Amino acid sequence: MKKSLEDLFDELINQQEKKLLKYASDIVPNVTSDDILQPNDYPELENHPFFRYEEGLLKGIHAAKMAVMAWEKELH
């Protein structure tokens, strides 16, 4: 079965979100997926370099998905 690029990006995003939430919950117990959208509410996350790095990877995957989707739209 051939996956579309959008499906691939969605899978990457889902995996990175799970990884980020697991890492955040190791730092701040009971943190939720909504909480990691605003890590500035939690100084432990806001100031944690590894958490911020993983968060940046997630944002980068989102940006790459948007760029590829826009490029594909221009081609068609």
Instruction: Kindly tell me the burial class for residue 36, based on how many C-beta atoms sit within 10 Å of its own C-beta (0-12, 13-18, 19 or more).
Output: buried
CB-CB contact of 24 with 36 (8 Å): yes
In this prediction, residue 76 has a pLDDT band, given cuts at 50, 70 and 90, of: confident
| Res 1: pLDDT | 61
Condensed to tens digits (0 to 9), the pLDDT of residues 10-45 reads: 999 999 999 999 999 999 999 999 999 899 999 999
User: Global pTM?
Assistant: 0.88
